[in-house]
Structure 1
Amino acid sequence: MIWNTMMGTSILSIPWGIKQAGFTSGIILILLMGILTLYCCYRVVKSRQMIPLIDTSNWEFPDVCKYYFGSFGQWSSLLFSMISLVGAMVVYWVLMSNFLFNTGKFIYNYVHDINVTDIVPGTNGSNKVICPSAASGHLPQNRSVVFSADNITGFTLFEKWWDKSQTVPFYLIAVLLPMLNLKSPSFFAKFNVLGTVSVVYLVFLVTVKAAHTGIHLEFNWFTENEFFVPEFRILFPQLTGVLTLAFFIHNCVITLLQNNRNQENNVRDLSIAYFLVGLTYLYVGVIIFASFPSPPLSKECIEQNFLDNFPSDDIMSFVARIFLLFQMMTVYPLLGYLARVQLLRQFFGNAYPSLFHVLALNLAIVGAGVVMARFYPNIGGIIRYSGATCGLAFVFVYPSLIYMISLHRAGQLTWPALITHIFIILLGLANLIAQFLL
């Protein structure tokens, strides 16, 4: 359950993050961030047990923050929780627009028997890999193709009304906004298994593609060229920002573990879940990066969503986008429900005070998604900014501060514990600052 919940959209940006960090340092950072976030998550799970003389069995982590920091802890934890939820929903909207666009494009070309030849730089053959960024400076987004078809006017009209950023993000409103206004999204929770199926299929896709392309790594330090693979890059904080959200489950881990039949196994189950998540990220990230055909392409061509490196007429990528599109369309209302419950219950004492309140909140959230899909459809950037921001509070600061305060009150705080947890807080602060500097 924890693995399924934690595995999200970040997996699509891990190969891009490894490119930004460098191959060797990228692998090391995934391992270190996995260990660090696991420890901080462990501190969240144990935080309730360190409060004496009070029944905390029904408390969530914001309740613990309120106990230690008063109203500031309550409202600040709400703020950062909303950042994580809305940030995830914005990423979902950008990706759903991307997947819907490519799916519609594939279906239209197939139905109308349009022969599409990408002029975006890429490899040849049935398992083609493309470099969209190489053409972005001089080609319109939807006109990076030449085609052979009788009805050229129809194709041009389709391109006009089926644009990745101009029109498709708005089409999603008609489907998803009514879903967000439902009082209970329990129907969509039944489709949670789609998340597992999507991730398993992505692993299968990555394996098959790598088997066809082979491994392309060149570590020759003395003859550097455009195909040279750096083992370390100064842009590595961009990966740590992505990983903060990729390993983020701290604001709901207590709720998830409450359903565990054997509560004494919580730490074991949490550790296993983090191990599996880290292993999945490592496998997908390393395999995509290592098998990316360089030459003839450069590793710099790896996109923030690695599925964009496969053309829209690729069958396996089409299936992956279909899986992910339906998964995200079922998860999106659940995220909206969590945001509604946390925000409106704090302000009005009721998760559904009226249709007007709910509609106003949902319009604001949907509007943020549409604006980002229209003007800043960079999921890697959105993930790392929101991840580093909400992670500063829930991953690094609050768990460490609460642990130090509880030890101090019990007279058990030692210098090694103090120095270690201050260092963790400083790492979180540096992680956030670095996102805006690089």
Structure 2
Amino acid sequence: MIWNTMMGTSILSIPWGIKQAGFTSGIILILLMGILTLYCCYRVVTSRKMIPLIDTSNWEFPDVCKYYFGSFGEWSSLLFSMVSLVGAMVVYWVLMSNFLFNTGKFIYNFVHDINVTDIVPGTNGSNKVICPSAASGHPLQNMVVMFSSGNNTGFELFEEWWNKSQTVPFYLIAVLLPLLNLKSPSFFAKFNVLGTVSVVYLVFLVTVKAAHLGIHLEYNLFTENDFFVPEFRLLFPQLTGVLTLAFFIHNSVITLLQNNRNQENNVRDLSIAYFLVGLTYLYIGVIIFASFPSPPLSKECIEQNFLDNFPSDDIMSFIARVFLLFQMMTVYPLLGYLARVQFLRHFFGNAYPSFFHVFVLNIAIVGAGVVMARFYPNIGCIIRYSGATCGLAFVFLYPSLIYMIALHRAGQLTWTALIIHIFIILLGLANLIAQFLL
């Protein structure tokens, strides 16, 4: 359950993050961030047990924050929880727009028997890999189309009404906004298995593509050229920002572990889940980076969503996009429900005070997704900004502070524990600041 919940949209940006950090440092950062976030998550799980003389069995982590920090802890935990939820929903909207656009383009070209020749630089053959960023600014940026018939008016009309940033993000409103207004999204919870299927298929896709493309690695510590990146880059905080959200489950881990029949196995199960998540991220990231054909392309061509490196007419990528599209359309209302419950219950004491309250909140959330999909569809950057922001509070700051305060009140705080946990807090702060400097 924890593995399935934690595995989200960040998996699509891990190869890009490794590119930004450098190959060797990227692998090391995935391992270190996995260990660090696991430790902080362990501190969250055990935080309730360190409160004496109070029954905390039904407490969530925000309740623990309120106990230690008063109203500030309550309000700040709500703020950062909303940042994580709304940030995830924005990323989902950008990705759903991307997947819907490419799915529609694949179906249209197939139905109309359109022969498409991409002008985007890429490799040749059936397992083509493209470099969309290299076509930026080209007057015919998307493609050159060759019809068996001489009339292309229909295609031009399709291109006008089926645009990745200008039209498709708005089409999603008609489907998802009504779903957000439902009182209970329990129906969509039944499709949670789609998340597991999607991740398993992504692993399969990456394995098959790598088998056909082969390994393309040239090692160099610091020097860059057109065909590889150094093993270490100063842009590595961009990967740590992505990983903060990729390993983020701290605001809901207590709820998830309450379903365990044997509560004494919580730490073991949490460790196993983090191990599996880290292994999945490592596999996807390393295989995509290592197999990306460089030469003839450059590793710099790896996109923030690695599926964008495969053309829209690639059948395996088409299946992956369809899987992910339906999975995200079922998860999106669940995220909206969580955001609604936390926000409206905090302000109005009721998760559904009225249809008007819910509708206004949902309009604001959907509007944020549409605006980002329209003007800033960079999921890697959105993930790292939101991940570093909410991670500062829930991953680095609150678990460490609460642990130090609890030890101090019990008279057990040592200089070693103090220095280690202050260092963890400083790491989280540096992680957030670095996102806005790089």
> How many Å separate the matches in 2 of 1:402 and 1:133?
45
Return the offset for 1:392: 0.2
1:14/1:224 Cα in 2 relative to 1: closer, same or farther (>3 Å)?
closer
Kindly indicate whether the alpha-carbon contact (under 8 Å) linking 1:404 and 1:418 is maintained by their aligned counterparts in 2.
yes
Tell me the TM-score normalised to structure 2 length: 0.98
Kindly indicate whether the alpha-carbon contact (under 8 Å) linking 2:11 and 2:284 is maintained by their aligned counterparts in 1.
yes
1:17/1:49 Cα in 2 relative to 1: closer, same or farther (>3 Å)?
same
> How many Å separate the matches in 1 of 2:243 and 2:427?
13
Kindly indicate whether the alpha-carbon contact (under 8 Å) linking 1:18 and 1:285 is maintained by their aligned counterparts in 2.
yes
Q: How many positions carry a matched residue from both structures? A: 438
Kindly indicate whether the alpha-carbon contact (under 8 Å) linking 1:119 and 1:145 is maintained by their aligned counterparts in 2.
no
Return the offset for 1:141: 5.1
Query: Partner of 2:241: helix, strand, or coil?
Result: helix
Kindly indicate whether the alpha-carbon contact (under 8 Å) linking 2:215 and 2:290 is maintained by their aligned counterparts in 1.
yes
> How many Å separate the matches in 2 of 1:149 and 1:403?
71
Provide Cα deviations, 1:378-402, integer angstroms capped at 9, x if missing partner. 0000000000000000000000000
Kindly indicate whether the alpha-carbon contact (under 8 Å) linking 1:101 and 1:162 is maintained by their aligned counterparts in 2.
yes
Provide Cα deviations, 1:213-272, integer angstroms capped at 9, x if missing partner. 000001156985311331000000000000000000000000000001110000000000
> How many Å separate the matches in 2 of 1:28 and 1:148?
52
> How many Å separate the matches in 2 of 1:407 and 1:223?
47
Provide Cα deviations, 1:353-411, integer angstroms capped at 9, x if missing partner. 00000000000000000000000000000000000000000000000000000000000
Kindly indicate whether the alpha-carbon contact (under 8 Å) linking 2:115 and 2:145 is maintained by their aligned counterparts in 1.
no
> How many Å separate the matches in 2 of 1:126 and 1:149?
25
1:146/1:243 Cα in 2 relative to 1: closer, same or farther (>3 Å)?
farther
Return the offset for 1:147: 5.1
Query: Partner of 2:146: helix, strand, or coil?
Result: strand
> How many Å separate the matches in 2 of 1:130 and 1:60?
46
Structure 1: segments with no counterpart, 5+ residues: none
Query: Partner of 2:58: helix, strand, or coil?
Result: coil
> How many Å separate the matches in 2 of 1:157 and 1:12?
31
Query: Partner of 2:229: helix, strand, or coil?
Result: coil
Greater CA drift, 131-140 or 181-190: 131-140
Structure 2: segments with no counterpart, 5+ residues: none
> How many Å separate the matches in 2 of 1:39 and 1:253?
13
> How many Å separate the matches in 1 of 2:409 and 2:397?
18
> How many Å separate the matches in 2 of 1:121 and 1:236?
27
Query: Partner of 1:437: helix, strand, or coil?
Result: coil
1:307/1:144 Cα in 2 relative to 1: closer, same or farther (>3 Å)?
farther
Return the offset for 1:151: 3.7
Taking only aligned residues, the RMSD between alpha carbons, in angstroms, comes to 1.2
Provide Cα deviations, 1:254-300, integer angstroms capped at 9, x if missing partner. 00000011100000000000000000000000000000000000000
1:191/1:403 Cα in 2 relative to 1: closer, same or farther (>3 Å)?
same
1:227/1:201 Cα in 2 relative to 1: closer, same or farther (>3 Å)?
same
1:416/1:97 Cα in 2 relative to 1: closer, same or farther (>3 Å)?
same
> How many Å separate the matches in 2 of 1:114 and 1:99?
20
> How many Å separate the matches in 1 of 2:152 and 2:95?
29
Return the offset for 1:8: 0.2
Kindly indicate whether the alpha-carbon contact (under 8 Å) linking 1:132 and 1:301 is maintained by their aligned counterparts in 2.
yes
1:225/1:404 Cα in 2 relative to 1: closer, same or farther (>3 Å)?
same
1:380/1:360 Cα in 2 relative to 1: closer, same or farther (>3 Å)?
same
> Map of 1:6-405 to 2, 5 A cutoff?
6-139=6-139, 142-143=142-143, 148-220=148-220, 225-405=225-405
Kindly indicate whether the alpha-carbon contact (under 8 Å) linking 1:120 and 1:144 is maintained by their aligned counterparts in 2.
no
Identical-residue share of aligned pairs (%)? 92
Return the offset for 1:143: 4.5
Provide Cα deviations, 1:190-221, integer angstroms capped at 9, x if missing partner. 00000000000000000000000000001156
